Amino acid sequence: MNAANPPSDPAFAEREQRRQAMADRHLERLDQVIEAGMGMIGALAAQVAETGPQVVEGDVALAYSRFSRAVRQGILLQTHLLDEPEQKPEAKSKAKGEAEKEEIYVTWLEPDASKARVPQGARRPHRRAHGA
């Protein structure tokens, strides 16, 4: 815990309570979005199997791809919201550019002699085809 905001501090407790309430609301909304998306995928599957009404006109595969991506994104967001609070400050510091520095090596390549400019009157080197 941060020494400036000990757990016994009333302001800290209030902020933590508000944060938790907001996270709970977000999780509820994400549950609703995921359920709606799964309902759309089910209706689309029924359309393909010709056991339900037509819910999409046009490219059914594209619609399925979009619905399933929306559901996957919702699940991913839920996972991020449920991460342990101890893990979040590390991710924030990396996002601010405080990540570990990496070494980058640069290699200079010499120009290919066969493609270099040849003075007028000089002959280019002869290339042989493989197996010739």
Query: pLDDT 10s per residue in the chain (132 long)?
Result: 454 555 678 888 888 899 889 989 999 999 999 999 999 999 999 999 999 999 889 899 999 999 999 999 999 999 988 886 655 555 555 555 555 666 766 665 655 655 555 556 555 555 555 554
Structural domain count, the chain: 1
* DSSP secondary structure of the chain: --TTS-TT-HHHHHHHHHHHHHHHHHHHHHHHHHHHHHHHHHHHHHHHTTSS-----S-HHHHHHHHHHHHHHHHHHHHHHHS-GGGHHHHHHHHTT-SPP------PPPPPGGGS---TTPPPPP---TT-
| Per-residue pLDDT at 46 | 93
Q: Is 98 inside any structural domain? A: no
Q: Is 115 inside any structural domain? A: no
Q: Is 68 inside any structural domain? A: yes
Question: Domain residues for 36?
Answer: 1-86
Q: Is 48 inside any structural domain? A: yes
| Per-residue pLDDT at 1 | 47
pTM here is 0.54
Q: Is 32 inside any structural domain? A: yes
Q: Is 80 inside any structural domain? A: yes
Q: Is 60 inside any structural domain? A: yes
Q: Is 42 inside any structural domain? A: yes
| Per-residue pLDDT at 30 | 92
